Amino acid sequence: MLKILFAPLQGYTTGIYRSAHAEVFGGVDAYYAPFLRIENGHPREKDLRDLESSENAKVAEGNRAGSSERGIDAKVVPQIIANSVNEFKILANALLQKGFTEIDFNMGCPFPMQVNRHRGAGILSDVLAVQEIMDEIKRMSESATSTSGTAPVKISVKMRLGQESPDEAITLLPILNDTPLAHITLHPRLGKQQYKGAIDFNSFEKFYNKSKHPLVYNGDITTVSQICEMERRYPKLAGVMIGRGLLANPSLATEYKLSSNCTELTNCATAPQDFLCKLLQMHQIIFEDAIHKYQGGSQILSHIQSFWEYLEPSIPKKIFKRIKKAGKLSEYTEAIKELS
């Protein structure tokens, strides 16, 4: 059975969202936090606060409580994005000082704001910069291993096939293979495609066949049958990373874990009424957190309305429109009451 990793999405998979999902739905093996980046020469404080929140400590506890009979024990993995070995060092050291022992390095973000700063998918064509960062990862691993009683930090990479050409990933593969990585997550699109256009499975298979590291697939997974197809098609695959698919169906990971090795797909779907009940339970946790953290109805609304953005197919259209158009907290709570 493949591991299920929850992809990081800025503005959606916050600390409270991760905690609430683990408590109510579960099924996820690891939650990846939205990337930590450099701002004014230092790690961005807002990102650090999210990682330092007490909600991260609750993820494993919540997932065990919600899914103990399935033996699921989740963890939170911070992600960093950097355009040079110097930025990488600053960010990695900040996380190590906070006690994190596992870090994910983002070489896949396709958004122009990051790509134009030579970060995310924008670094994939710079072999020298990637080599320097991989050398630093190797140094960190060797340093930790040589220190008595210190476990080496685990570092993984999340990447695209390239920014302009799939040749970029293949060119980098010997460097990646020579680096002690926990795994590689590959989204088989180019950065310039962002999230549009066809997935390049041919290039993915080339990378899959030549990679010496465990490989995780990422891209357009929305159903249990798709996960099972990846499991059948790529026997050496270590897992799948899912972002929007889990935002749209928070029960997806648990449904897969209950699929009995993909042999009982018809029996693993969550009943609509049970799904709605859990959805409202998860929403309540996030809503109460927003009331506690933010001042005024408009601030609370701006944070809680995004919860529903990917859930439109799961609730009545009229109620969805009322939720999204609510300009006052009272209007929003009335819409939620109607849904429940």
Alpha-carbon distance values, 239 to 30, 181, 196, 298, 326 (Å): 11, 15, 23, 39, 39
Same domain, 181 and 217: yes
CATH assignment of the domain containing 58? 3.20.20.70
Residue ending a domain, among 226, 251, 267, is: 267
Same domain, 229 and 247: yes
Q: Phi, psi (5° rounding) for residue 9?
A: -130, 115
**Neighbouring C-beta atoms of residue 300, cutoff 10 Å:** 19
Same domain, 50 and 75: yes
The pLDDT value given to residue 63:
45
Domain end call among 218, 251, 267 = 267
pLDDT at 273: 85
Residues 230 and 87 grouped into a single domain: yes
**Structural domain ending residue among the three candidates 237, 267, 297:** 267
Shared domain for 252 and 318, answered yes or no, is: no
- The verdict on 226 and 239 lying in the same domain is yes
- Cα separations (Å) of 102 from 31, 33, 51, 72, 172? 12, 12, 13, 18, 22
- 278 plus 219 within the same structural domain: no
For the sheet containing 239-242, what is the strand order? Answer: 76-77, 30-32, 3-6, 239-242, 215-218, 184-190, 154-162, 102-107, 79-80
pLDDT given at position 52: 78
Kindly give the confidence (pLDDT) of every residue in the chain, 340 residues in length, as a single tens digit, with 9 standing for 90 and above: 999 999 999 999 999 999 999 999 999 999 999 999 999 999 999 899 888 766 666 675 544 444 433 334 679 999 999 999 999 999 999 999 999 999 999 999 999 999 999 999 999 999 999 999 999 999 998 876 544 455 678 999 999 999 999 999 999 999 999 999 999 999 999 999 999 999 999 999 999 999 999 999 999 999 999 999 999 999 999 999 999 999 999 999 999 999 866 765 555 667 788 999 999 999 999 999 999 989 888 999 989 999 999 999 999 999 999 999 999 999 999 999 999 8
Same domain, 234 and 302: no
pLDDT of residue 21: 97
CA dihedral 13, 17, 22, 23 (to 10 degrees): 180
φ/ψ (deg, to 5) at 315: -130, 160
Write down the pLDDT at residue 3.
97
Q: CA 108, CA 187: separation in Å to the nearest integer?
A: 8
The reply to whether 235 and 305 lie within a common domain is no
Q: Evaluate if pTM is beyond 0.85.
A: yes
Same domain, 164 and 116: yes
Is residue 31 located within the same domain as residue 148? Answer: yes
Predicted local distance difference test score (pLDDT) of residue 148 = 44
* Whole-number pLDDT of residue 144: 64
Element of type H or E holding 188: strand 184-190
Range of the domain at 315: 272-339
Domain count of the fold of the chain: 2
Q: What are phi and psi of 335, to 5 degrees?
A: -65, -40
Residues 123 and 228 occupy one common structural domain: yes
